[in-house]
Chains A and B, each alone.
Chain A
């Protein structure tokens, strides 16, 4: 018995001894990294890259840039399209799109705040030049995030440092305060980055100046405008145009700007990057597929899936046929033919007419009736009505739409796989835009001559050849003329809705052009702000809804 008890004791002691291995309860997970990583220079650089990557989604949210404007319209009356294009009375704070947009922008803001709080000259391995570069980029990206927040939602909570506790209550800071913040930030970083970025996709000093000018210009229209805003805007744009190194220039031909083999060219100030590497392309640039119709699906006998010929168009945004009429003289304005693909050749080898013209859309003003022997011919108008409309029962005029239109050709991408992620750069700022914004700033400042000069520079470049450059020039200018010009020059590029809002032309021009918006006839001044996402309002106190939304 005593022997047994001894044994028990030995075992019990052995067991208890094990208790000392407290190390046993330490978890190892080498696959994950925590936010301490941001205290290192490498972590800060990676965080900056992450912020850049989040801008892909900002520019992919087409509902907030294209719908409900003069140039683009919805195709169907499905709820989401109708909300953003029609501003109908179902448009409210539960629309999914705005929630995602808001979240992404605040993520950009807070990540920038973390970066700007953590990044110090004392960060190990940091040097002055890198510190300047990292923080300047982060300040730019944060200001741009706030620009979209304030223009989309109006007064929003303003945070400028890393938040260590959970935000459960907020105040909506006035727009004026946010504008002051953004402008001060950009002025602080002016001249701290190279005029043109060495690496495509990076923020450059030109990008800083472009945004700074745009902020002055936008504020110039607002009730809290400073009297110098127009002039400051023009001055900022001129710094890019007249920079001594001529880092950014207008290319000689309009079409060259959009040549897929000439990406990130000298005219491009800042573009979102995708590339062909599947590991980095993400969901890809959707721009190549958004403005057209899927000819392969509609005419399978004529067309096959061949990326070098056509893209798998998902026709998200329909180009309003009246936009074609903006190109008043398509014979001499090279932008018309560079922008639209109107001749679709049969590429289905099984078709007896292989290689011949399958679908033909003449120039909008070509009333000759010449079908070019195309299998199918779609003139601009038929019986006085536009034929280049989607087919729909939404309006009588759409019943006879051809459901086809010339395909947007600027963003053609042959380096991607069929229906796959688009690989091209997505231009956000380019010099022609700088010229047109600069013209707008001069016009606002009352300097019509300089405004005309800037617009005409862009227009002369667009001439089909040197003999008709003079014919391209305008002799008078108004804000509406500039918006027309922006429509021609920048069709399919970003932020039409924001441009219209800035200039105060959103309501008039949209109701004039966009027949579906006009049909619902609900667009009003309240719509200059989007609703605050209800889901966000549920989670914090103090986030009041914008006027006119529930």
Chain B
């Protein structure tokens, strides 16, 4: 007998002694799909309040022994709504399960409380923990892409542990973060979700419209992401869940460099063309045209594909184990997670260890208390600077090895490039980040319907970043002394929320729910850093005091605080008409008195149209609800000391004596700053057709942000460059659509589709009150906040345009840009708006197929439109360094007459146009094939559920982008450059 089983029996004995003395009887029955009437094998039937349970056989039939005729059965099946069935003396049962898409009793977290989905008046997107685990992203944030409408996730890089950011319903603020507020178990968090183990997450609820976000008042204007971890809910009994997976990452879509994959002659041809064009034919006899070694390799056809030499398959390993359970008075949850994500270049990697504990104790019906804690330790190895960059730049005619097979340091003596394989050994960049979140509450319900909850949460976060730059690195060139850098930061954040809630049903038709809040919050951040140069021995960043020169010593401390009052009223009349009022009054230390306080109200209406008599008889409509809302939110994503005119520390030297100076900063502060406020109208329709075979949600919104805190660029005649002011108005309008359909639902086979679509249009309505553009800041009335304003390429000067080109001082083969005013001078007057780095629309589609015990799911994500500025595309097509390599695209020649890329070596003007690239792509994000073992087999080995699966991430990408991954267009090439992984995994999930 397994240990688990022993424990189970012990618990059973401890908790449920009463049943031992009861009389037994046998109940039989069948479980069917409520719509298709197909029988459901594998559905579980449990006796409420016990751990006893059985599952249905292949014909959907079951039999179970019960003690009394008052027993209640819990019938559940993945993808279906849970049903409770009271026996009432019945012996045989015919149970119909509704697919969970019909589940209107689903609970949605709305901030300081929850609401049943049917009573929801705002616009909230929800992603369940199950979905997160299924897609297996190391960073939870990435899972939102294509799964929740209105949400756009931006990845900074494909390196393990890279940052991600989220935008909900477009950009509101011009100068400040548009990142939503994250609330993790009640604590506003500033570090997003990357520290969380997806397996620990119960649900993610994304508040999108202002009426929902108004509950978070001054922090709500960018939307709110509420993360609920698996706290101690009232699960009785004992549960253990394990999931683990292992995946292999291989680089995919490696950009096509000239002469890669052994085709080095192509590079030699390019090199000759470049030198001839740039320096003339005679230059080919120069000693630095090709060194003796290079000539030898060309002669022998000895070529190296540097990116493929440098990259190796990476791997992702994850293990999570969690257990939960409890008794009548106490419940608990415990979880432990491990993730190790190894990158494809050098030591790049990320590993995360998480542990969480939740405990709730109910003293009586009136008083309960509980704690939740979450701890996460994250180690990121950023790999080496320059390694991948060098691999792109070094041409195939260089070798990483000398004649004896040892790694050489300087692989291309004629340029400054050193061997990336050496670089990755000598440059270390590592970060250890620790994140913890503790929350404790006491809840007192003196009378029925009234509850007072006081909750204190504390978040503590530290990180230590260290960097070691050895002598044999690109930075040190093999001659300069070793360098180490260390920085430490920590932040402390506490929130005290006091929540009063009152629920009352006055008669059958009137329901009232009131919530009141008084909250205080304080956030402190501090840290320090230092750099040492000339270190006597390899000490990483742990002995900076031994350095010959210590520099860049910094320290900082900054804090901010907030006080808030909030009230919300939900009123429901006859289950048809829903009304929500919210008001929040926030005070912040970031602004100066008397502008510290801001009031943010909202109102929302819901109408369950299906409940009306006239629709009750319309059969094909199974659900129809209209939602209308208006609300106001603020943006608190300001720097703590935004009102201050801060001085800049500068350094100078008089003779050999160093001197510190303080100059005026580039930004002038402003004591009169007020809240920037966003108001939003939202109209939503929730619908279900054909007995919920097709369900969906449609939202239309229009939001306007007023009194934007602009960092307004001013003439440098002022001595500073910008000043903060409340000016300007921006707007975002958009459509969000979510659809779910059950396409096929048969006994052995089902096919379901989920689709979401988002479209957002962002524009500046006014800036300074006079509807004039601000050219200095590149802000244009009627255009999006971020635009790319530059020359527009209209081709390449062709041979028959030689005279016209000459009028611009240009030659054939140069990039041709549009001369807008046709004055034959190309200057800023010829700039135009090329586009905006925001997609026209995004869409995600998920198809799930179930055949017997197999399940197959395919996720597709599309981002259409948008023009982005991409350093990678620019650098590797525009640069004509005489020794380095570039991307293999059709550069202009007299023969090909390319109208996109300039002639090699032509020293063209306006090469910046090559960095403006389209952001359109369609990706198959994930394909997963799973197999769930039959409960019959499992019950013999005392396992409740078991599923094995294999999946592949990023198998197909369709795009014109010439870099590796279109999703990271704009990646910082000097610090973030990464390869695009395709991950093939196998995994298992067990439920004991």
A residues sitting closer than 8 Å to B (CB atoms) are 1, 4, 7-8, 11, 15, 18-19, 24-35, 37-38, 43, 46-54, 56, 76-79, 88-90, 92-94, 102-103, 106-107, 109-111, 113-114, 157, 159, 163, 166-168, 170, 199-202, 264, 273-282, 297-301, 304-307, 391-393, 398-400, 403, 417-420, 520, 534-536, 538-540, 543, 550
Q: Is the CB of A90 within 8 A of B808?
A: yes
**A32 touches which of B596, B644, B663, B907 (Cβ 8 Å):** B644
Contacts of A281 in B (CB 8 A): 653
Q: Which of A24, A92, A106, A393 neighbours the largest number of chain B CB atoms within 10 Å of its CB?
A: A393
A540 to B718, CA, bound (A): 10
Q: Which residue of B lies closest to A31 (CB)?
A: B556
| A interface footprint on B273-290 (CB within 8 Å = 1, 0 otherwise) | 000011111110011100
Q: How far is the CB of A492 from chain B (nearest CB, A)?
A: 22
Q: How far is the CB of A264 from chain B (nearest CB, A)?
A: 6
Contacts of A24 in B (CB 8 A): 520, 522, 561, 563, 589
Given contacts A275-B656, A420-B480, contact A33 B647 (CB under 8 A): yes
Tell me the B551-568 residues at the A interface (CB within 8 Å). Answer: 551-552, 555-563
Q: Is the CB of A27 within 8 A of B560?
A: yes
Contacts of B551 in A (CB 8 A): 278-279
Q: Is the CB of B650 within 8 A of A53?
A: yes
Q: Is the CB of B549 within 8 A of A114?
A: no
Contacts of B477 in A (CB 8 A): 305, 418-419
Q: Does B29 touch A at the CB level, under 8 Å? A: no
Contacts of A520 in B (CB 8 A): 809
Q: Does B404 touch A at the CB level, under 8 Å? A: no
Q: Is the CB of A103 within 8 A of B716?
A: yes
Q: Is the CB of B828 within 8 A of A299?
A: no
Contacts of B278 in A (CB 8 A): 76, 392-393
Q: How far is the CB of B123 from chain A (nearest CB, A)?
A: 31
Q: Which of B520, B563, B648, B651 neighbours the largest number of chain A CB atoms within 10 Å of its CB?
A: B651
23 contacting pairs across A/B (C-beta < 8 A): A1-B447, A4-B450, A7-B446, A15-B518, A24-B522, A28-B558, A34-B669, A46-B662, A47-B661, A53-B661, A54-B663, A103-B716, A110-B717, A110-B718, A170-B715, A273-B653, A275-B653, A275-B655, A275-B658, A300-B413, A400-B282, A540-B717, A550-B827
Q: Is the CB of A53 within 8 A of B809?
A: no
Q: Does B479 touch A at the CB level, under 8 Å? A: yes
Q: Is the CB of B556 within 8 A of A111?
A: no
A184 to B668, CA, bound (A): 32
**A111 touches which of B663, B715, B828 (Cβ 8 Å):** B663
Q: Is the CB of A25 within 8 A of B587?
A: yes
Q: Does B654 touch A at the CB level, under 8 Å? A: yes
A77 to B278, CA, bound (A): 9
| A interface footprint on B565-599 (CB within 8 Å = 1, 0 otherwise) | 00000000000000000000001111001001000
Q: How far is the CB of B175 from chain A (nearest CB, A)?
A: 16
Q: Is the CB of B716 within 8 A of A27?
A: no
Q: How far is the CB of B695 from chain A (nearest CB, A)?
A: 42
A35 to B283, CA, bound (A): 57
**B717 touches which of A46, A53, A157 (Cβ 8 Å):** A157
Q: Is the CB of B646 within 8 A of A34?
A: yes
Q: Does B937 touch A at the CB level, under 8 Å? A: no
Q: Is the CB of A107 within 8 A of B809?
A: no
Q: Which residue of A lies closest to B909 (CB)?
A: A79
A329 to B452, CA, bound (A): 98
Contacts of B556 in A (CB 8 A): 31
Given contacts A24-B561, A29-B641, A538-B775, contact A106 B719 (CB under 8 A): yes
Q: Is the CB of A50 within 8 A of B719?
A: no
A474 to B647, CA, bound (A): 54
Given contacts A34-B669, A279-B658, contact A539 B776 (CB under 8 A): yes
**A534 touches which of B291, B413, B713, B827 (Cβ 8 Å):** B827
Q: Which residue of B lies closest to A1 (CB)?
A: B447
Q: Is the CB of B662 within 8 A of A29?
A: no
Tell me the B614-669 residues at the A interface (CB within 8 Å). Answer: 640-641, 644-648, 650-664, 668-669
Contacts of B520 in A (CB 8 A): 18, 24
- A170-B715, A399-B279 given. 10 additional CB < 8 A pairs? A27-B560, A27-B640, A30-B557, A46-B660, A50-B662, A77-B907, A90-B909, A163-B719, A273-B654, A550-B829
Q: Which residue of A lies closest to B524 (CB)?
A: A28
A25 to B716, CA, bound (A): 34
**A50 touches which of B590, B596, B650, B827 (Cβ 8 Å):** B650
Q: Does B92 touch A at the CB level, under 8 Å? A: no
Q: Does B823 touch A at the CB level, under 8 Å? A: yes
Q: How far is the CB of A60 from chain B (nearest CB, A)?
A: 14
Given contacts A24-B561, A27-B590, A420-B480, contact A299 B719 (CB under 8 A): no
Contacts of B856 in A (CB 8 A): none
Q: Which residue of B lies closest to A549 (CB)?
A: B827
A274 to B416, CA, bound (A): 26
Q: Is the CB of A114 within 8 A of B413?
A: no
Q: How far is the CB of A47 from chain B (nearest CB, A)?
A: 6
Q: Which residue of B lies closest to A522 (CB)?
A: B809
**A273 touches which of B447, B481, B590, B655 (Cβ 8 Å):** B655
Q: Is the CB of B653 within 8 A of A419?
A: no
Contacts of A419 in B (CB 8 A): 477, 480
Q: Is the CB of B661 within 8 A of A393?
A: no
Contacts of B774 in A (CB 8 A): 538
Q: Does B9 touch A at the CB level, under 8 Å? A: no
Q: Is the CB of A35 within 8 A of B719?
A: no
Q: Is the CB of A53 within 8 A of B288?
A: no
| A interface footprint on B253-281 (CB within 8 Å = 1, 0 otherwise) | 00000000000000000000000011111
Given contacts A418-B479, A418-B480, contact A167 B809 (CB under 8 A): no
Q: Does B222 touch A at the CB level, under 8 Å? A: no
**B651 touches which of A79, A107, A279 (Cβ 8 Å):** A279
Contacts of A103 in B (CB 8 A): 716, 721
Q: Is the CB of B826 within 8 A of A25?
A: no
Q: Which residue of B lies closest to A159 (CB)?
A: B717
Contacts of A49 in B (CB 8 A): 650, 652, 659-662
Q: Is the CB of A297 within 8 A of B288?
A: yes
Q: Is the CB of A15 within 8 A of B478?
A: no
Q: Does B825 touch A at the CB level, under 8 Å? A: yes
**B282 touches which of A54, A93, A391 (Cβ 8 Å):** A391
Contacts of A274 in B (CB 8 A): 653
A465 to B128, CA, bound (A): 90
Contacts of A282 in B (CB 8 A): 651-652
Q: Is the CB of B479 within 8 A of A89?
A: no
Q: Is the CB of B827 within 8 A of A201?
A: no
Contacts of A89 in B (CB 8 A): 808-809, 825
Q: Is the CB of A43 within 8 A of B662?
A: yes
Contacts of B718 in A (CB 8 A): 106, 110, 163, 166-167
Q: How far is the CB of B214 from chain A (nearest CB, A)?
A: 21
A111 to B415, CA, bound (A): 42
A297 to B417, CA, bound (A): 10
Q: Is the CB of B647 within 8 A of A25?
A: no
**B280 touches which of A94, A107, A111, A399 (Cβ 8 Å):** A399
Q: How far is the CB of B783 from chain A (nearest CB, A)?
A: 16
A53 to B286, CA, bound (A): 42
Q: Is the CB of B282 within 8 A of A399?
A: yes
**B652 touches which of A27, A37, A53 (Cβ 8 Å):** A53
Q: How far is the CB of A278 from chain B (nearest CB, A)?
A: 4
Q: Is the CB of A276 within 8 A of B656?
A: yes
Q: Does B105 touch A at the CB level, under 8 Å? A: no
Contacts of B229 in A (CB 8 A): none
Given contacts A31-B555, A298-B414, contact A92 B827 (CB under 8 A): yes
Q: Is the CB of B714 within 8 A of A539?
A: yes
A535 to B659, CA, bound (A): 33
Q: Is the CB of B656 within 8 A of A201?
A: no
Q: How far is the CB of B475 from chain A (nearest CB, A)?
A: 9
**A199 touches which of B654, B664, B721, B829 (Cβ 8 Å):** B654
**B446 touches which of A4, A163, A170, A304 (Cβ 8 Å):** A4
Given contacts A27-B559, A102-B716, A391-B280, contact A48 B596 (CB under 8 A): no
